[in-house]
Amino acid sequence: MTQISTTANPNWWKEAIIYQVYPRSYLDTDGDGVGDLAGITDKLDYIASLGVDIVWLSPFFTSPMKDFGYDIADYCDVDPLFGTLADFDKLIAKAHGLGLKIMIDQVMSHTADTHPWFVESRQSRDNPKSDWYVWADPLPDGCPPNNWMSVFGGSAWQWDTRRKQYYMHNFLVSQPQLNFHNPDVQQAHLDAQRFWLERGVDGVRMDACVFHFHDRQLRSNPPALVRDTSTVTDVNPYGMQAHIYDKTQPENIAFLQRVRAQLDEFGAVSIGEVSSDDALAQMAEYTEGGDKLHMAYSFNLLTPEFTASHIRKQVEDFKERVKDGWASWSVGNHDAIRVVTRWGGAPGQRPGPALAKLVLAMQLSLKGTPCLYQGDELALPEADVPFELLQDPYGITFWPEFKGRDGCRTPIPWTSEAPNAGFTTGKPWLPVAEPHLAASVAQQDQDPDSMLNFQRRFIAWRKTMPQLTRGEIAFFDAPEPVLALRRWVEDGDGMDSVLAAFNLSDREVSFDWPESSAARALGTHGLPGQAAGGKVSLPPYGAWFGSIPAGAGK
């Protein structure tokens, strides 16, 4: 695989591709039904074969696992479920030997309620860590101090009988919110981050990074003018508030600058998860200036809306708001319904691999760092997990209108020839989806036309196209469902521009595109489509790429 030079190119991460691994569901090597670090290490050669550059590992730290690792009880150790620190060191060593960077999940906004910090904090109002979490007295009638809500349902406040106070939690009751207004809390996180950087970690993904600070006055949120359905479903009342006091506080900027300064010591990179009422504005604020996050992603392309106008608007709005920041575009992760189901139409009409190929090509043609999710390289559909096997507390709360996140977290199907698709010799923590067996890695590996092999080829082709990895972007007006764009390199010294058109539908589309008349077709990307006489014709889920001389088509 072609490696990105990190010494000659300090902005290498802008040209990189991130691949997210959800450790619980990747590969289990000890038969307990849960994936582990040794399993990831065993499959690093497979990951490298995809052509990706950065491997983001979802949390593997010590945890009671009520939110499956996003509730941390020790920031500086590996949960025995996943292995040991020695296992992690082996993973780092092998990854680096393959030219892969390792990015870990930093869940800073909250801890598990079993974390020693919280155990001490809740004992009294005057112990050394009494102010490490967000505590508040009740109102005179005994109610919580304000109307803040939890993303996972209900009030964001939980009564504690020891302190006779409420503590705040943005997610589960068992995930108390840390008080970032306390400088000791900030320093504790920087110390934990340094621990992993010194072990060779190349980057951090900052979970829920808009939630670090809260309004000191504990003011109630006003109603939302427009209900937010980008980060929660319409059955969740959380979307009915404008979240201007319980997150996205201005103090977060200075903390992110401290995080960035430490990362810069090690040449490490960061990506932030942004979920707010105006996520694109927050992405811009958190990435501009070169002294905060390197890049950020939102949930704006993780929604059911799959139209050219929507995708164009996200990229253009970010470009308009940002000065010199950088976006990461994600269409799938561990929190969203799998993309071929979410964007693929009604059950029984899902196009599977054809759509998956088109979506990958489109995603990798946008300006920004792509973030891919495990299993999407296999075009896996969302798994149907029955209620009695559901694990996600978020889904259990809002069932049946919202089934939670288990459907995108089921085990990777390595082979249809082994029990549990080769994921485990024991009972898997979530069932292997029957429809996934026919899409196993082993089967797709042998099929040159499979989604897996298409992804390998397209990523390799993209790496030969600096216009797509680091170029500027502009969009053309085209009829729905066509997304038409141009990529070019400002300092390209006469380098040709690239035109691209994507048919986001399952029907054939032809449209007039005068700029294409001067283009030379680029035919090695692997998707069907053609242009002639200023007209572009795209079959269902087809795409066309063309090269035009520098300066033309602007």
User: Is 447 marked active-site?
Assistant: no
d(CA 452, CA 441): 8
d(CA 27, CA 460): 26
- Strand 203-206 with 269-273, pairing: parallel
Q: Which candidate, 329, 380, 371, places its Cα nearest to that of 350?
A: 380
To the nearest 10°, report the CA torsion of 442, 445, 451, 455.
130
At 349, list the tokens.
Answer: 């009409």
The catalytic position among 198, 265, 388, 493 is: 265
d(CA 425, CA 535): 55
The catalytic position among 87, 207, 285, 377 is: 207
Residue 232's alpha-carbon distances to 207, 214, 229, 303, 396, in angstroms, are 16, 20, 5, 9, 15
Query: What is the enclosing helix (H) or strand (E) of 20?
Result: strand 18-21
Match 């087809």 to its residue by tokens. 542
Q: For the stretch 509-519, what's the b/e string if a residue is b when 16 or more beta carbons lie within 10 angstroms of its beta carbon?
A: bebebebbeeb
- Name the CA radius of gyration of the chain, rounded: 23
The alpha carbon dihedral of 47, 49, 50, 55 has a sign of positive
Residue 64's alpha-carbon distances to 38, 76, 79, 290, in angstroms, are 20, 15, 9, 36
Query: What is the enclosing helix (H) or strand (E) of 469?
Result: helix 466-470
User: Is 87 marked active-site?
Assistant: no
Match 């190929």 to its residue by tokens. 357
At 268, list the tokens.
Answer: 């490490």
Instruction: Just list the catalytic residues.
Output: 207, 265
